[in-house]
Amino acid sequence: MTVGYHSPMPPARTGVAGYSEALVRALAGLMRVTVNSSRYSDVELWHLGNNALHRPILEKSLQRPGVAVLHDAVLHHFYLGGNDEERYLEEFVYNYGEWSRGLARELWKRRAHSAGDPEYFRYPMLRRVIEASRCVVVHNPMAAAFVREHVPEARVEEIPHLFDAPEPPPQFVIARVRERFGPGAVVFGLFGHLRESKRVLQVLHAFARVRRDHPHAWLVAAGEMASQDLARAAAPYWTNPGIVRLPYLSESEFWKWAHAVDVCINLRNPCAGETSGIMVRFAGIGRCVVATDGAEISRWPQDACLRVDAGLAEEEMLEAYLRWACSTPAAVREIGHRAAAHIAAHHAPARVARLWVDLLERLA
């Protein structure tokens, strides 16, 4: 059996690229895989997300039915960014009916606020992709629910997000990074594409208050800002004590800094039904992760991460967790150990690849 694998690949600046490289490597020993080939295969895998890099993949997936892999279970922003008003309106109406045209027109007018406005996340706009696919693969129960809301009869399969552990950097490299923080430091990390839904400003507000009482606390913020508005709002914080601002990191630089961090802050609000590759990566190397509670992480043991409620108490809960982490580093490390055990049991390449092979053989 031949599998056609369609996805951004490294060095593309998207987490899907790194994920796909690892999954192709895991599948290659079990079946024949062609990557981004124009030739037809027995089964086609179309990896879809909100990044514009996925546009040609989505367009081809509508012409060649196969397996749609939803890395983002909300494609609303994808359609906002790649269409004119009329095409956007028609896509919205296709998903939600003619009665919704007025709502779509209003959302189009207010699209400058779409990155953080929950209204845009209530309409994932998945129907066309689902109807054109033989099967839809998701990584968590929330994404599966989004699919069934659009097409109740759709075939949906949940397969865990793969984690292929890289060789860790040498200890002296990690120690050299940690030197800049000083002895006894507790280092928090905010990694990836820094967008409004990752609660960047809320993280900066909470950390500023914690730092006043815990001068050994540090925050590493690495990644590109998703919008100019967010960049302007966050700019005054980058010179605050205890903050290290880094650009988008290459793979080797990412892992160097990841191993130097004690706690990863990985909030998502509003949620897009995605399983965070950042969360899986940090948990996989034994780091404690602070995440927004919800169905996206419902498969995780309660004691394998710190859960923050979305809503009015969000920033207060985050601040409390940061203070607790500064005071109880041993407990933080224990949570990281439990997270790593969960990832090793459920997200290991061999297990995930076997689940994929079983599905693809049934489809073929």
Average pLDDT of the chain is 95
* Number of separate helices (H) and strands (E) present in the chain: 16, 12
- Per the CB < 8 A criterion, the answer to whether 33 and 5 are in contact is yes
Phi–psi pair at 160, nearest 5 degrees? -60, 150
Q: pLDDT at residue 81 above 90? A: no
Query: Minimal CA–CA distance to 317: which of 338, 292, 299, 334?
Result: 292
Q: pLDDT at residue 14 above 90? A: no
Q: Which CATH class is domain 171-346?
A: alpha beta
Q: What pLDDT was estimated at residue 245? A: 98
Token pair of 160, please? 């865990």
Angle between helices 277-284 and 15-28 (to 10 degrees): 60
Q: What pLDDT was estimated at residue 226? A: 87
Q: From edge to edge, which strands make up the β-sheet containing 135-138?
A: 32-35, 2-6, 43-48, 67-70, 135-138, 156-158
Same fold, 2-75+124-162+348-363 and 171-346: yes
Q: What pLDDT was estimated at residue 165? A: 87
Q: Which tens digit of pLDDT belongs to each residue from 220-246?
A: 999 999 889 999 999 999 999 999 999
Token pair of 195, please? 């967008």
Query: Minimal CA–CA distance to 13: which of 253, 254, 274, 250?
Result: 250
Domain-by-domain residue ranges, the chain?
2-75+124-162+348-363, 171-346
Q: What pLDDT was estimated at residue 29? A: 86
The 8-class DSSP code of residue 292 comes to E
Phi–psi pair at 357, nearest 5 degrees? -60, -45
Consecutive H or E run containing 217: strand 217-222
Q: What pLDDT was estimated at residue 164? A: 93
Give the fold, CATH level 3, of 2-75+124-162+348-363: Rossmann fold (3.40.50)
Q: Which tens digit of pLDDT belongs to each residue from 148-174?
A: 999 999 999 999 999 998 899 999 999
Number of Cβ within a 10 Å radius of residue 94: 14
Listed range (48-52, 178-182, 262-266, 339-343) with the worst mean pLDDT: 48-52
